[in-house]
Structures are given as C-alpha cells and as structure tokens.
Homo-oligomer: A and B are copies of this chain.
Amino acid sequence: MFATKQEKTGLYYDLNARLVIYAPDALGTESSKTAEGVLRYASNPIVGVIDKSQAGKTVRQVTGIPLDLPVFASLEEALELKPQALLLGTAWSGGGLPPSWKPDLLKALEAGLDIVNGLHDFLSDDPELSKAAEKNSCKLIDVRRPPEHLPVGTAACRNLDSFVVLTVGTDCSVGKMTSSLELAKVAREKNKKAAFVATGQTGIMICGTGIAIDRVIGDFMSGAVEQMVLEAAVDNDYVFVEGQGSIVHPSFSGVTLSLMHGACPKALILCHNAKRSKIKEKGIDMDILPLDELVSLYERLCSYLQKTKVLGVAFNTHGMSEEDAAQAIASAEKLLNIPVCDPVRQGAGRLFDAIEKYKESLA
C-alpha cells in the first residue's frame, strides 16, 4: 500500500486516474496553490473539488480557472462521481497534516480511493492510515518523500548541450512552477524537445515525477537537482527547471541556492507577484528587493559555476485590472530592458523567444 515510483514508467501514479481534489476552507485562497496548479496543468481527469465553504459554486466562479467543475460540500457527495484518487490540494509553510482531515482520509480509503499527498507529514508514516490503505488495497502516495541514496552535487550540469532554464523568484508563491510549465508548453508548440523538471509537490503531482528539493537533506539537495537535470537533458533541447523560494528569503534561501548550483542554468527567468511588496512568510517583516538588484544577485551567484543571464521576467498579475497589469509590466520592462509578461494572462511566447534567441547567439 505504500507507493513508490512505478518501475516501468518512472511515475508515482497513473496520469489517467480520475482525481477529486481536497481543499477544505481553502479553494481560491493562497493556501490552495497546489489545488489550482493541478486544476490548471494536470493531465489527469478531475471530477471536482471538495470545499464546504464554497460548495455549490464552480471552480471557475471561485478561482477564475476556466473549468466548470463542481465544488462539493463533502467527500460523500464527490464519491458519487466515482473518483479513483483523492489529491490533497492545500499546502503551507511547514507542511503538517491537520488532524481534522483524518476522518475524511479514512473514509476515502474505505471507498477504495488512493490518496496523493504533498505535505511534509507522510501519510504512509501514520499507522492508522497505513492499516486502512492496506485493508482496502489503496495506495498512499507521498510525493514529497525523496528517493534514498541521492548523490552529492558535482556541478556536472555545467557542460550540457541542452539549454537549461531555471525560474527564480522575488519571493515564494510568485509563479515559478507556472512559468516553467508555460515555457515548456510554448517550446513544445514550436516543435522543440522540452522537459519540465518538477522540484516541488505541485509540480510532481502535475507531471507524475520529480523530487521535492525542500524535503531533501541539505548535503544532497544540489545533487538531487543535478541528477534530474542530467536525466532530462539526455533527450531534450530545452530543460525548464521549476525554481523554489528566493535567494534572500530567510526561511528557504538555501533551497534556492542548491537549485541554482545543482542545475547550472544558462538562463534564468525572474518571477514576481506584481501586487506584493513584502515577503509573505508569517512572522517575517521584510521588503522584497528591487528587481534590478535581484537580477544582478541571481546572475552573479549562478555565473561562478556557469555563465548565466536573466533573460526575462514573469509577472503574476492575478487579480489586477488589465490597465494596472499593463502599467506594472511596462514599468518593469523600462527598468530592466528585458521582456516582462504575465505567462498566464498573455502566454510565455515573448519569454521563450528571448530564450531561443539567446540560445542561438551562443551556438
């Protein structure tokens, strides 16, 4: 009942399994970024979202994501649509499992559903859940559990033919995963061979494989990134690596730097939430650094290993008026003199064009 990657496909779970997303009191809030990422990008069929506080509405009404899926008041209601797996769709700093979820998780297992979990707390470490999963022949899929025997990083990605692009941020939760996914999408639309490398729980849930770098032991973080990038580079012209955290974020800067020095990117895309001026971590009073300062800092720290340039900026303008968004983007573009756009609102075409042009200039 404890799920590891399937040997044949390298995936944690079947990308055809019918999912129901669990997001009690969270859909549409900052805590439901996992739910919204999966709704937006997963290839799995989805029957709807469980969130009593928004019950009766559609996903479109609550989140703006263009999907007319129902929001259910309860697990029982969702079960009528015969989902095959329950995906836990909320996440927060620290990542503990709320005890109040336990009864629903046990009910889901009783009903024969697998559970897909991205929290720091692993379901398969819980004796009660493990027993219930075994009894009902269900899988507990803890996507954040890192593989055993990870290597130490050796800067081996410095000399790849494949063009590695890492997303970096002004803060956490600013759109790094989204930007990497949108870039990979544009590249594929242009018939390029492109890989997306998932480094966090939501990315792993979307593509079914990857390693949650923030859950890896310090000494092996850059090695884990290196291993994934080397593997992705074998058969791809472009490797888009999902970034994490921010280089001056007091909680997670070490994770960010391990990604930078593990992936040895040739290009960076800086991601920013246009409405945010302070780090959003609870208990930390800290301004977000000016964009030009961050461009210089990210380029400097990467370039000790591999000459790196920030080629564009992805602005998350969710919730802003068209006019305000356009103004914010124009002002950043004037400051930095590189393309700035919102990959969700406008697509990542201009960012990819800048990457392709730079790649060709190096050849």
Binding site for B on A (CB under 8 A): 93-95, 120, 151-156, 213-219, 221-223, 247-258, 261-262, 264, 281-284, 286, 289, 297, 300-301, 304-305
Give the contacting residue for A251; candidates B93, B214, B222, B304; CB below 8 A: B222
Given A94-B152, A155-B284, A218:B258 Cβ within 8 A: yes
**A253 and B248 within 8 A (CB):** no
The interface residues of chain A, by DSSP majority, are classed as: loop
Number of this chain's copies in the assembly equals: 2
Give the contacting residue for A216; candidates B213, B218, B252, B301; CB below 8 A: B218
Least distance between A346 CB and chain B CB atoms (Å): 31
Give the contacting residue for A218; candidates B155, B156, B221, B282; CB below 8 A: B221
Given A93-B152, A152-B93, A304-B289, A254:B215 Cβ within 8 A: no
In angstroms, Cα B264 to Cα A284, docked, is 13
**A214 and B215 within 8 A (CB):** no
13 residue pairs from A and B, CB less than 8 Å apart: A93-B152, A94-B219, A152-B251, A152-B281, A214-B219, A216-B217, A217-B217, A218-B255, A218-B258, A222-B254, A249-B261, A250-B262, A253-B261
**A215 and B219 within 8 A (CB):** yes
In angstroms, Cα B264 to Cα A120, docked, is 26
